[in-house]
Amino acid sequence: MHIAHELPQRLRFKSPVLADQGIDVLHLEAALLALSGIRRVRFNPIASSLIVHYDGVAAHRQALLNWLNGQFHAVRQQRLAPGESNRENATPARVFTAAISLFLLPILPCLGRKILTWTLVAPIVWEGSKTLASEGIKVEVLDSLAVGLAALRGEYFTAIATFGLLELGAYLENKTEARADGLLRHLLKPMPSKTWVERDGALIEIACSDLVAGDRIEVGTGDLIPIDGKVLSGNAAVNQASVTGETLAVRKEKGDKVLSGTVLEEGRLRILATRVGSDTTTARIARFIENSLQQQSKTQCLAEDLANQRVYLTLGLGGLVYAATRDLDRLASVFLVDYACALKLGTPVAIKSALYRGATHGILFRGGQAIENLGEADTFVFDKTGTLTTGLLEVTNVKSFGAEHWNEAQLLSLAASVEEHATHPVADAVVKQARKHAFQHIEHEDVNYLVAHGLTTQVNGQKVVIGSRHFLEEHQQVSFAAHNRSIHALERAGKTLLYLALDGKPLGLLALRDSVRPEAKQVLADLRAAGVKNLIMLTGDQQDKADALAAELGIDRVFADCPPEDKGKVVKQLRDEGQTVAFIGDGVNDAPALIAAHVGIAMPKGADLARAAADIVLLDDHLHTLVNAKRLSNQTLDLIRLHFNVSTTVNTAVIAGAAFGWLNPVLSALLHNGATIGVLLNSMAGVKLRSEVDRTR
């Protein structure tokens, strides 16, 4: 591949391999756009050329040349699937040919005009004949009849002009639909091929495909992060726009999570890989997008059915007009108007535009049906923990029961010294609180951990037990009945309690609370404004605690003391009541409810099973993303309804004008195609997520 022409910030390359029609152009464009400084890419397979616009930085120019001379060959092996084509490379050659022919008509003899006209329109007539034989009466049949009738009657200008308008409409429709697909596929940024990883105490460069969970990688300025992981050391600004839609870089340091597909703009990080390969966020996004391109919603199917039905309406009306007037011009004018293009193409383009806008704002829809179901949802059901609350516990009370030498500070130190050997959220909260107070570590023997119960150890020859009340009273025979008044007061306040015992006697307790998300109340109000009628909360909390939270947030209905296995039953009950249900959850035990709902929504910190079961995955851990998803769905459905009404009204008016002889075939084709193109362009523009709710922090 060589440089054919160069301007400041623009390079044009030539190579015979670029003429290969089997290359997946969108994949190659995405690979090039992932390079630093590349702004725009355009392939021209007819001219075997590639045009790249960049920022003019010499280092970025050299990186581009290196990529084309090195990795380009490997990336171009990504081939189109059988039956696919690079539709975005469609050319308006037939439109230009028709325009030139119209200028030539006046100077050609009669035979020349006839030969030129039939040469141009023969493909469209042949296509109509094939469609009639294989699929029955479709739009292509009506178009070929209209153009063929004009040519047969010697109305060569009308035939060629009509042909040109039909080709112009088809070209623009093709470009618009391909652009919608391209927007989605351009989100599929290829991961870097190599990265630096620590092996045997040294940094070595390996292929990203060889990474495994647990590897420690190094990422520097300008690098694309290839894995999901946790920062071990370093400090950096990371651009997460490709995943969450955040326009400003986010500061990352020790303990923070990072996502694949994000770019390190400044600094350096050492990262522990937690998800690699097909398990990463970028891979999940890719699967969602590929599924989205293949799935059709009920609205899309309905639009296609209505469009096909209206072909028969047009054909029948044309027959009536000809029977009444014997006017072939009117017949041709009627045949050139169909409802199919706007209805069949406008709907999927609007949905694909919404899928793209959602993905760039941290919202992954599993196809158009998810958008449709969310737009129609009137009942939102929240699993409390991790959705309305942060899911992060904090210690609010430390209470000693008067044992000698054990004040509250010492009690917290004891609990933290033992709990630091555990990995569950309660243990993390206890250790975090103790570190705030610079706790003194208390020496103890080996810790025995009983899953879902508690921990036991020895301190200075005395047995220490930490865990739930059930564990201490039923398994360790330590009674806390004498302290019921204090315990019940904390429980009524919605606290989670951790009990401690020393040598078979109550020592004290720690109270923890899962804090409500600061944005939760406003988000619920925004959802009501977006058309949600019922806000419902599921929780395992006691009724009084659940009611208090519901009153604080403005929730309509609460299902308290709800065990995990009953969540799906509650959702089914709501569906049986006639409600269209959206369920929002993040746990493994939320999967049945996510599946039972009309639309299941998984929070970003959700378990893998919850994400797999969900119709929508939020990538940004902020509830305003949920409001954006609802508004985007509502506005997309409104846009589809608007286009349906506009296209039906305009095309009906054009048919009426054609039937009464007010419009000739050229004007009929012009108005019909103009309306179709208008609908498609408006669908492509799609809807905008309002900036004031895109990022409320």
Contact 658, 666 (CB under 8 A): no
Does the active-site annotation cover 55?
Answer: no
Contact 450, 471 (CB under 8 A): yes
Q: What is the dihedral of CA 64, 70, 75, 77, to 10 degrees?
A: 140
| Residue 382 pLDDT > 80 | yes
Domain 2-88 belongs to what architecture? 2-Layer Sandwich (3.30)
| Residue 435 pLDDT > 60 | yes
Half-sphere CA count of 323, side-chain side, radius 13 A = 6
Q: Answer with the residue of higher pLDDT: 182 or 617.
A: 617
Contact 330, 662 (CB under 8 A): no
Contact 643, 684 (CB under 8 A): no
Copy the structure tokens of residue 634. Answer: 């509502």
Tell me the C-alpha distance between 185 and 290, whole Å. 8
| Residue 226 pLDDT > 50 | yes
Which range among 331-335, 630-634, 689-693 shows the weakest confidence by mean pLDDT? 689-693
Residue 691, pLDDT score: 41
Beta bridge partners of 513: 394
Which range among 90-99, 315-324, 404-413, 647-656 shows the weakest confidence by mean pLDDT? 90-99
- Residue range 588-603: average pLDDT? 82
| Residue 694 pLDDT > 50 | no
| Residue 83 pLDDT > 60 | no
Catalytic residue (choose from 24, 215, 223, 383): 383
With respect to CATH, is domain 194-223+227-279 assigned 2.70.150.10?
A: yes
Residue 558, pLDDT score: 92
| Residue 241 pLDDT > 70 | no
| Residue 588 pLDDT > 90 | no
Sheet of 2-7: strand order equals: 2-7, 10-14, 49-54, 38-44
| Residue 419 pLDDT > 70 | yes
With respect to CATH, is domain 363-388+517-618 assigned 1.20.120.530?
A: no
Helix (H) or strand (E) holding 667: helix 665-685
Residue 695, pLDDT score: 41
pLDDT in tens, 457-484: 999 888 999 988 888 998 889 999 999 9
| Residue 272 pLDDT > 60 | yes
For the chain, give every domain's residue range: 2-88, 93-184+291-352+634-685, 194-223+227-279, 363-388+517-618, 390-515
Contact 216, 197 (CB under 8 A): yes
Q: Answer with the residue of higher pLDDT: 22 or 182.
A: 22
State the residue for tokens 């975005």: 88
Contact 380, 629 (CB under 8 A): no
Residue 692, pLDDT score: 37
Residue 88, pLDDT score: 46
| Residue 566 pLDDT > 70 | yes
- Residue range 389-407: average pLDDT? 82
| Residue 247 pLDDT > 70 | no
Helical pair 543-553 and 520-529, crossing angle rounded to 10 deg: 60
Average pLDDT, the chain: 79
Q: Answer with the residue of higher pLDDT: 27 or 480.
A: 480
User: Please, what's the b/e burial string for 159-187 (b: 16 or more CB within 10 A of its CB; e: otherwise)?
Assistant: bbbbbbbbbbbbbbbbbbbbbbbbbbbbb
| Residue 664 pLDDT > 70 | yes
Copy the structure tokens of residue 432. Answer: 């975090």
Residue 693, pLDDT score: 38
Contacts of 438 by beta carbon, 8 Å cutoff, 6+ apart? none
Q: Answer with the residue of higher pLDDT: 403 or 618.
A: 618
| Residue 175 pLDDT > 50 | yes
Question: Where does the pLDDT of residue 590 fall: very low under 50, low under 70, confident under 90, or very high at 90 and above?
Answer: confident
Give the three-class secondary structure for 357.
helix
Give the three-class secondary structure for 668.
helix
Residue 168, pLDDT score: 72
Beta bridge partners of 382: 537, 584
Tell me the C-alpha distance between 63 and 307, whole Å. 49
Residue 181, pLDDT score: 60
Tell me the C-alpha distance between 252 and 258, whole Å. 8
Nearest to 102 by CA among 45, 145, 148, 160: 160
pTM confidence score: 0.63
Question: Where does the pLDDT of residue 271 fall: very low under 50, low under 70, confident under 90, or very high at 90 and above?
Answer: very high
Q: Tell how many helices (H) and how many strands (E) occur in the chain.
A: 25, 24
pLDDT in tens, 102-151: 888 888 888 888 898 889 888 888 887 887 788 777 767 767 776 777 77
Residue 632, pLDDT score: 92
Q: Answer with the residue of higher pLDDT: 466 or 286.
A: 466
Q: Answer with the residue of higher pLDDT: 392 or 579.
A: 579
Q: Answer with the residue of higher pLDDT: 48 or 557.
A: 557
- Residue range 443-460: average pLDDT? 83
Fold of 390-515: Calcium-transporting ATPase, cytoplasmic domain N (3.40.1110)
Phi-psi region for residue 56, left (φ > 0), alpha (ψ -120 to 50) or beta?
A: left
- CA Rg, the chain, in Å? 33
Q: Answer with the residue of higher pLDDT: 146 or 407.
A: 407
**Mean pLDDT comparison of 344-353, 529-538, 598-607, highest-scoring range:** 529-538
Residue 696, pLDDT score: 39
| Residue 39 pLDDT > 90 | no
